[in-house]
């Protein structure tokens, strides 16, 4: 059983997954930020691999990616940083990124190094379902990695069921079809999450995009197993003189 599955077995609700960008704010911030998130009480970490053209990311996360790339962040550097990180970080960790840099690195080598780290799962929003089924899914499974698909309010019921059947770990419910960081109409989000809840899917559901504080976190958790916060956390780190202190304050405000 993976760390992700263990987490959902032990805790059914109010799961807090926080996104951070590898190599941000400083090149060597990756593991210290993850450690600070763990120490502050998050349940799972989504570690973003910076890319110059991130389709699903809003301006704040894009800017953090740009900064991380300028700092010298690469996938090779990331795996170097993750060597031995399990001595300090025991939470489930998911790598989130885009196919282009992963393919340049070599898809199988990437999965092998991710499993060696070890991280627990992958989110690759631009990996199409067909390619996953015919080519890449078998490689991901061979290395024991969970793979998480994204669904939106516009995704048909048939397709939601299909992506749920292919996903392992959890299903990522995107609160709307826009990019991260935009304010959302939480009533529309609630309707979408209720629809997913009524479908009695195989996987737990975490909701992301637009979750930024305690009220939006609580609303998201009303009809889902938990939520993912990214943009608001990156903003909290932007000008923080002390990453650990800024992280603790941010997470405490959400969980208090």
Using DSSP, state whether 128 is helix, strand or coil. coil
Count Cα neighbours of 109 within 13 Å in the Cβ-side half-sphere: 9
Q: What is the DSSP string of 178-242?
A: S-TT----HHHHHHHHHHHHHTT-SS-EEEESS--SHHHHHHHHHSSSEEEE-HHHHHHHHT-S-
Cross-sheet strand order for the sheet of 171-174: 146-147, 121-123, 93-96, 44-48, 15-21, 226-229, 205-208, 171-174, 150-151
What is the Cα–Cα distance from 147 to 166, expressed in whole angstroms? 8
What is the Cα–Cα distance from 183 to 1, expressed in whole angstroms? 36
CA 89, chain centre distance (Å): 16
Q: Which of 43, 57, 120, 164 is catalytic?
A: 57
Taking Cα atoms as reference points, which of 233, 123, 119, 113 lies closest to residue 174?
A: 123
Taking Cα atoms as reference points, which of 167, 182, 147 lies closest to residue 58?
A: 182
Residue 126 among the catalytic residues: no
Residue 253 among the catalytic residues: no
Cis peptide upstream of residue 25 (ω within 30 degrees of 0): yes
Q: Which of 28, 43, 46, 213 is catalytic?
A: 46
Active site residues: 46, 57
């Amino acid at each position: 059983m993976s760390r992700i599955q263990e987490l959902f077995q032990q805790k059914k609700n109010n799961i807090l997954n926080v996104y951070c960008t590898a190599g941000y704010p400083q090149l060597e911030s990756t593991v210290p930020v993850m450690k600070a998130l763990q120490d502050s009480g998050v349940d799972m970490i989504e570690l973003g691999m910076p890319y110059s053209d991130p389709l699903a990311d809003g301006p704040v996360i894009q800017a953090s990616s740009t900064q991380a790339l300028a700092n010298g962040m690469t996938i090779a550097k990331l795996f170097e940083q993750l060597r031995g990180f399990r001595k300090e970080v025991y939470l489930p960790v998911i790598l989130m990124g885009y196919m282009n840099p992963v393919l340049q690195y070599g898809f199988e080598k990437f999965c092998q190094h991710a499993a060696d780290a070890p991280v627990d799962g992958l989110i690759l929003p631009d990996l199409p379902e067909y390619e996953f089924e015919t080519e890449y899914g078998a490689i991901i499974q061979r290395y024991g990695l969970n793979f998480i698909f994204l669904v939106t309010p516009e995704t048909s019921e048939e397709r939601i069921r299909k992506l749920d059947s292919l996903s392992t770990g959890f299903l990522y419910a995107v609160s709307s079809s826009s990019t991260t960081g935009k304010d959302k109409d939480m009533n529309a989000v609630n309707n979408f999450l209720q629809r997913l809840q009524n479908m009695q899917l195989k996987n737990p559901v975490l909701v992301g995009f637009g979750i930024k504080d305690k009220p939006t976190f609580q609303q998201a958790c009303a009809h889902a197993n938990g939520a993912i916060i990214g943009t608001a956390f990156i903003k909290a780190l932007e000008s923080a003189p002390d990453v650990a202190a800024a992280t603790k304050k941010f997470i405490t405000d959400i969980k208090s």
